[in-house]
């Protein structure tokens, strides 16, 4: 039982909690915007279907938010429990965005409570719609602030170390590290993209299983359009993220690309397996790495040979990067086909196999999110604060982390299963056809 | 006023707010479970769900505020408390998860009203204060050792300490008392006579244990931490004031008069006692290792945090006002006449 062990255990627990939280957090950031759009379209077109769509999404959303709050509280506390040395240092420099995040939570939680419990309470639908804006803003702001903290871990600045003491601390400089623009933009656009595809999956599934109602068709078309827009945005911002890496964290990019020697006109390596320093069975796209890194085909890309052996991230992040990029490309392409197809009336988009692909888009986007986070976090190793503190130095010295892993694994399994069971049960008990019919019959009474 | 004092006062204030709102939440869950157990569920469930469901996430943020804020203002606490509290804090997290998932799955979602779940939810409301309050005992010193520069918790000393157990008992009694007084008021506003009567009875039952254990702790401290004890005695007038406010609450509840005022007096009682306790703890965050001065963050961060706090408050207060106006002070909503849930 050495020091290393506890650090490894802490990593495993962090990985578990974050990977689980990020599912709910992504939905939490993206879905309010989707609800807003649906409700807005409904109000504008005076179309009951879109309003009901917003309402039904909102109902499911509460459940994911509640679990998101639980898991978020867990990760928030675990940061201090598992990485006390890191948090002590980070607290001095990067506490500001963490603190601001709490206000974003407050803002979101308050207005979400109000929004949910005031359906039909206002004469004017638009007033109710307005309540959703702070929810969406609060959720987006919380992801922005936490991503700023994460950016700081990747590109720390805003302080100096003098004889082991932190001096000249500037909280604002620390907040606006060079990693911020691409990271924040990429995280936001992927959250929107993923939420759109998750909702599209649900609509596609309903269309296949029994209900051929126009309501689901509208939902599917709307979400696929949004998915297309945000997946294009994601790919463009992802390209900028690559350029950021080339400039500030070249070891991460080089490890992701198995780029061992510094060279110009570098190839992009897709898939393959590693045999020593040789990538076998890989697809090589000429010049593509130089373009990803610097935007021109003959640019020089820094290779792993320029870094000390013990500061090179694990090379398996290559697969994580490939997974993310491939899925991103696929989803952009697929949603493009769908949208054009739906618009031109191509018959394939109603085929069963095509529907199945549509159903898959949500889970695939979620997988891409996971791959992306694992890539960027594992790719930062061995550093917890790049260039300043190694992950093993940041970890707790407390025993019992192993026990906590078991405990929290159990908790997440229960919460995960619970979410799925409760959501399916909730929608099954209250099918959309019935609800539409009921609203129709109420209509006469409701309207002035 | 130094930056250190501003920082700790802000944190202490939010901790106080958390204690009040969380007590209401925890206690309500327990009463709900208890009434399900004794087949009186219909009396309380409505009141509890109408008030708690829209606000529990906000309650939770008060907690998050405290632990994020203390790391921000006093980063060294991460080192001392973070290293030692892994097990108790993880248990508290699991309990919080039970509560959160109850709201998610049972009240918002598919209305799973399985009895076992209601009991678990109710029980977690009692266990949570029991899991969180030992931190107060730990902060009195004597339970943490430094081995090779690394702090570790002496569980044996902690679990055999009468001080720790009195704090635990006080926290549970206080949770039930605060909650009962608030819910008496709320159900009275809702015009629900049966619930009011029942909750009023609970309030009176739990008043005694609360004040007895609170007094007991002061005497425990004399042996455990004489320095803190002496500071407490210097502030005797605040505790006296707190006690008068307590009498006021009990009197009003007893006479079935002005429950709103009774609750306000109760908040005053806890406010004075909580701040007197905090002030007498000054300047230690952890006897004798950590004071607010040697653990404080750098000046530029402190100023940035305070500015962020003021700006945040500017956003928060109007929103909280709106929330309370809609769910606490809106007659139709409180009475359950209007149900606008999505
Ligand atoms: C739906 C999810 C998703 C999709 C389709 C993509 N990404 Fe991504 N990517 C993420 C989800 C993500 C993420 C989870 O949001 C990450 C992890 C950390 C971060 O900042 O964003 C990320 C990080 C990330 C990074 C590392 C940034 C850093 O460490 O600072 C790069 C270079 C890219 N992405 C590039 C791309 C490219 C070129 C894509 C082409 C389509 C792409 N991503 C699609
Ligand atoms: C913004 C959201 C964040 C996400 C989604 C995220 C995700 C992850 C993931 C998936 C891992 C596991 C990687 C691995 O085990 O190698 C990880 C590791 C870690 N993260 Fe992050 N992270 C985020 C931000 C942060 C922040 C803000 C902190 C600290 C303040 C942090 C601290 C750590 C630490 C200490 C590890 C363990 C080191 C490691 O094992 O890689 N992360 N994170
Ligand atoms: C180290 C990483 C993270 C930490 C410490 C963290 C912390 C937290 C905490 C404490 C909460 C609960 C707040 C409450 O009580 O209401 C929460 C919820 C939330 N978090 Fe995280 N979080 C992290 C990563 C992320 C990321 C990467 C995102 C977005 C991409 C995110 C978005 C959210 C959102 C939107 C919520 C509100 C609940 C929801 O809508 O699901 N968080 N987080």
CA distance linking residue A179 with residue A150, whole number of Å: 9
CA of residue B320 to ligand 3 center, whole Å: 21
The mean pLDDT value for B271-296 works out to: 81
For residue B50, which of B258, B191, B259 has the smallest C-alpha distance?
B191
List, in sequence order, the alpha helices (H) in chain B: 3-37, 41-73, 76-77, 83-84, 86-101, 115-132, 134-139, 155-159, 162-189, 193-224, 226-234, 236-254, 259-281, 299-327, 331-334
On whether the CB atoms of residues A38 and A57 are closer than 8 A, the answer is yes
Res A445: pLDDT:
39
CB contact under 8 A, B301 and A96: yes
**Angle formed at CA B231 by CA B225 and CA B234, multiple of 5 degrees:** 145
The Cα–Cα gap between B172 and B206 comes to 10
Q: Give the C-alpha distances (Å, rounded to integers) separating A308 from A303, A311, A394.
A: 12, 6, 21
Q: What is the rounded distance in angstroms from the CA atom of residue A74 to the CA atom of residue B212?
A: 34
Mean pLDDT, each 10-residue run in order, chain A (448 residues): 66 90 92 90 82 84 87 88 84 86 87 79 75 89 92 85 76 84 93 93 82 77 90 90 83 78 74 71 74 75 75 83 90 89 79 84 92 90 81 76 84 86 78 69 43
| Cα A405 to ligand 2 centroid, rounded to whole Å | 16
What are the phi and psi torsion angles at A387 (to 5°)?
A: 90, -15
Mutation pick for ligand 2 pocket among A28, A184, A377, A401 (CB with most ligand atoms within 8 Å): A377
What residues of chain A, 167 to 206, have a C-beta less than 8 Å from chain B?
A: 169-172
Average pLDDT over residues B329-338: 62
Phi, psi of A162 (to 5 degrees): -125, 115
Contact with chain A for residue B89, Cβ under 8 A:
yes
Q: Closest-CA residue in chain A for B306?
A: A96
- Which atom of ligand 1 lies at the shortest distance from residue A380's CA? 29
How far, in Å, CA of A446 to CA of A439, rounded? 9
- Please, are residues A311 and A262 in contact by the beta-carbon 8 Å criterion? no
Name residues 152-181 of chain B within 8 A of A (Cβ): 152
Residue B329 tokens read as: 């002070």
Q: What integer pLDDT is reported at residue B332 of this predicted model?
A: 64
> Residue B309: its chain A contacts at CB < 8 A?
99
Token duo for residue A173: 């400089």
User: Residues A342, A344, A345, A349: is their CA dihedral positive or negative?
Assistant: negative
* Rounded distance between C-alpha atoms, residue B285 and residue B292, angstroms: 6
CA of A72 to the centre of ligand 3 (A): 5
User: What is the pTM assigned to this prediction?
Assistant: 0.87
Quote helix, strand, coil % in chain A, to nearest 5: 75, 5, 20
Look at residue B289 and tell me whether its pLDDT is greater than 80.
no
Tell me what pLDDT residue A210 has.
Answer: 67
Tokens encoding B102: 């109850």
Counting ligands in written order, the one closest to the CA of A320 is 1
DSSP secondary structure string for all residues of A272-287: -EEETTEEES-EEETT
Which residues lie closer than 8 Å to A357 by C-beta, 6 or more apart? A334
Which residue in this structure is represented by tokens 């407050």? A106
The answer to whether the Cβ–Cβ distance between B101 and A67 falls below 8 Å is: yes
Instruction: Decide whether any atom of ligand 3 lies within 6 Å of the A68 Cβ.
Output: yes
Which ligand has an atom closest to residue A248 CA? 1
Specify the DSSP class assigned to residue B107.
Answer: I
Distance CA B280, CA B267 (A): 20
- Give one DSSP letter per residue of A246-305, joined into a string: HHH-HHHHHHHTT--S-EESPPEEES-EEETTEEES-EEETTHHHHHHHSSTT-EE--GG
Cα distance from A399 to chain B (closest Cα, Å)? Answer: 9
Among all chains, which residue has been given the structure tokens 């969406």?
A136
Cα A72 off chain centre by: 14
Those residues whose C-beta lies under 8 Å from the C-beta of residue A83, and which sit 6 or more positions away, are A10, A14, A384, A394, A395, A396, B82
Q: Which helix (H) or strand (E) element contains residue A185?
A: helix A180-208
Residue A1: predicted pLDDT:
40
Q: Which of B58, B109, B152 sits opposite A110 (nearest CB)?
A: B58
What is the DSSP secondary-structure string of A78-91?
HHHHH-HHHHHHHH
Residue A228: predicted pLDDT: 92
- Closest approach atom of ligand 2 to CA A15: 12
Q: Do residues B89 and B63 touch, judged by C-beta distance below 8 A?
A: no
User: Is B72 in Cβ contact with A95 (below 8 Å)?
Assistant: yes
Chains A, B: CB pairs < 8 Å: 227
Contact residues on chain B for A426, CB-CB shorter than 8 A: 109-110
Chain B contact for A95, CB < 8 A? yes
B329 — pLDDT class (breaks 50, 70, 90): low
Cα separation, A10 vs A19, in Å, equals: 14
Q: Distance (Å, rounded) from C-alpha A356 to C-alpha B320? A: 45
Cβ atoms of B284 and B278 within 8 Å: the answer is: no
- Are A124 and A39 within 8 A, CB to CB? no
CA angle B157, B161, B167 (to 5 degrees): 130
**What are the angstrom distances between the C-alpha of A448 and each of A306, A398, A441, A445, B311?**
74, 66, 15, 8, 42
Ligand nearest the Cα of residue A137 is 3
Q: What's the gap in Å between A4 CA and the centre of ligand 2? A: 17
Taking contacts as CB-CB distances below 8 angstroms, the residues of chain B near A100 are 308, 312
- CA of B213 to nearest chain A CA: how many angstroms apart? 30
CB distance A270 to A283 below 8 Å: yes
Question: What average pLDDT is seen over chain B?
Answer: 81
Which residue in A81, A87, A148 has the most chain B C-beta atoms within 10 A of its own C-beta, making it the best mutation to test that interface? A81
Q: Do A117 and B112 touch (CB under 8 A)?
A: no
Beta bridge partners of B290: B286
Task: Say if residue B330's pLDDT is above 70.
Answer: no
If you average pLDDT over residues B187-203, what whole number do you get?
84
Distance from CA of A375 to the nearest CA of B (A): 27
For ligand 3, pick from A28, A74, A142 the residue to mutate: most ligand atoms within 8 Å of CB: A142
Give me the DSSP letters along A325-357.
Answer: HHHHHHHHHHHHHHHHHHHHT-GGGGSHHHHHH
- Which residue does chain A place closest to B312, by CA atoms? A103
The closest alpha carbon to A423, from B87, B104, B180, belongs to: B104
Of B103, B2, B6, B48, the closest CA to residue B313 belongs to: B6
d(CA A358, CA A224): 9
Q: Which residues contact A353 (CB under 8 A, 6 or more apart)?
A: none
Q: Which residue of A has its CA nearest to B84?
A: A398
Crossing angle for the helix pair A84-116 and A125-154, to the nearest 10 degrees? 170
R_g over Cα of chain B: 20
Q: Which residue has the higher pLDDT, A288 or B176?
A: B176
Sort A405 into a burial class: Cβ within 10 Å, 0-12 / 13-18 / 19+: middle
Do the Cβ atoms of B112 and B89 come closer than 8 Å?
Answer: no
Minimal Cα–Cα distance from A216 to chain B, Å?
19
CA atoms within 13 Å, Cβ hemisphere of A135: 27
Strand partners, A263: A301
**Contact flag B68-A91 (C-beta cutoff 8 Å):** no
Kindly list the protein residues whose Cβ atom lies closer than 6 A to any atom of ligand 2. A 11, 14-15, 18-19, 22, 79, 83, 90, 146-147, 149-150, 153, 373-374, 377-378, 381, 384, 391, 394
Two tokens, residue B54: 């829209």
Residue B146, SS3 per DSSP: strand
pLDDT of residue B148: 75
């Amino acid at each position: 039982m050495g020091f290393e062990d506890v650090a490894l255990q802490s990593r495993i627990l962090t990985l578990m909690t974050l990977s689980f939280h990020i599912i709910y957090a992504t939905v939490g950031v993206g879905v309010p915007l989707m609800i807003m759009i649906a409700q807005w379209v409904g109000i504008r077109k005076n179309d009951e279907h879109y309003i009901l769509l917003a309402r039904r999404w909102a109902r499911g959303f509460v459940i994911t938010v509640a679990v998101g709050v639980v898991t978020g509280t867990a990760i928030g506390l675990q940061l201090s429990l598992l990485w006390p040395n890191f948090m002590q240092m980070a607290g001095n420099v990067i506490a500001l965005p963490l603190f601001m995040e709490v206000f974003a939570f407050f803002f979101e939680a308050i207005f979400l409570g109000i929004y949910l419990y005031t359906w039909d309470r206002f004469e004017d639908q638009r007033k109710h719609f307005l309540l959703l804006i702070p929810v969406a803003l609060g959720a987006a702001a919380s992801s922005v602030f936490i991503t700023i903290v994460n950016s700081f871990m990747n590109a720390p600045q805003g302080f100096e170390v003098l004889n082991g003491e932190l001096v000249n601390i500037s909280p604002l400089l620390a907040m606006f590290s060079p990693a911020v623009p691409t990271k924040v933009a990429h995280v936001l656009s992927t959250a929107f993209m993923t939420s759109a595809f998750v909702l599209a999956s649900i609509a596609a599934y309903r269309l296949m299983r029994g209900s051929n109602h126009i309501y689901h068709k509208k939902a599917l078309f709307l979400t696929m359009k949004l998915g297309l827009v945000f997946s294009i945005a994601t790919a463009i911002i992802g390209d900028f993220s690559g350029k950021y890496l080339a400039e500030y964290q070249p070891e991460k990019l080089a490890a992701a690309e198995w780029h061992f020697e510094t060279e110009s006109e570098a190839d992009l390596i897709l898939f393959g397996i590693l045999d020593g320093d040789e990538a076998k069975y890989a697809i090589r796209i000429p010049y593509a790495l130089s373009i990803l890194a610097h935007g021109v085909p003959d640019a020089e890309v820094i290779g792993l040979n320029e870094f000390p052996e013990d500061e090179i991230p694990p090379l398996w992040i290559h697969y994580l990067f490939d997974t993310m990029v491939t899925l991103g490309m696929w989803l952009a392409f697929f949603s493009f086909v769908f949208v054009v197809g739906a618009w031109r009336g191509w018959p394939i988009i109603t085929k069963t196999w095509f529907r199945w692909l549509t159903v898959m888009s949500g889970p695939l986007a979620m997988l891409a999110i996971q791959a992306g986070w694992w890539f960027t976090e594992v790719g930062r190793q061995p550093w917890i604060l790049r260039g300043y503190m190694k992950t093993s130095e940041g970890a707790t010295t407390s025993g019992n982390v192993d026990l906590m892993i078991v405990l929290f694994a159990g908790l997440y399994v229960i919460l995960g299963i619970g979410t799925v069971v409760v959501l399916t049960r909730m929608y099954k008990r209250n099918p959309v056809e019935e609800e539409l019919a009921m609203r129709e019959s109420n209509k006469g009474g409701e309207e002035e | 006023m130094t930056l250190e004092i501003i920082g700790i006062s802000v944190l202490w204030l939010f901790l106080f707010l958390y204690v009040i709102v969380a007590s209401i939440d925890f206690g309500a869950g327990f009463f709900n479970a208890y009434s399900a157990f004794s087949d009186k569920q219909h009396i309380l469930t409505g009141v509890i769900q109408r008030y708690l469901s829209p606000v529990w996430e906000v309650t939770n943020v008060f907690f998050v505020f405290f632990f994020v804020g203390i790391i921000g203002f006093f980063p060294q606490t991460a080192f001392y408390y973070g290293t030692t509290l892994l097990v108790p804090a993880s248990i508290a997290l699991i309990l919080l998860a039970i509560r959160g998932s109850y709201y998610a799955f049972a009240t918002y979602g598919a209305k799973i009203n399985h009895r076992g779940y209601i009991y678990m939810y109710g029980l977690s409301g009692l266990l949570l204060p029991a899991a969180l309050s030992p931190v107060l005992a730990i902060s009195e010193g004597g339970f943490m050792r430094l081995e090779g520069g690394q702090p570790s918790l002496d569980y044996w000393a902690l679990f055999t300490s009468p001080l720790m157990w009195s704090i635990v008992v006080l926290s549970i009694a206080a949770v039930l008392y605060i909650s009962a007084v608030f819910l008496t008021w709320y159900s009275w506003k809702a015009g629900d006579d049966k619930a009011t009567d029942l909750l009023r009875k609970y309030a009176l039952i739990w008043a005694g244990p609360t004040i007895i254990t609170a007094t007991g702790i002061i005497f425990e401290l004399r042996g455990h931490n004489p320095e803190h004890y002496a500071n407490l005695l210097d502030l005797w007038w605040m505790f006296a004031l707190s006690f008068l406010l307590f009498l006021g609450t009990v009197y009003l509840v007893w006479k079935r008069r002005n429950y709103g005022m009774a609750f306000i007096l109760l908040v005053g009682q806890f406010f004075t006692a909580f701040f007197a306790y905090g002030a007498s703890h000054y300047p230690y965050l952890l006897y004798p290792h950590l004071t607010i001065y040697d653990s404080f963050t750098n000046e530029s961060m402190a100023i940035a945090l305070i500015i962020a706090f003021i700006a945040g408050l500017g956003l928060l207060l109007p929103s909280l006002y709106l929330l309370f106006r809609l769910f606490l002070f809106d007659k139709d909503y409180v009475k359950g006449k209007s149900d606008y849930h999505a």
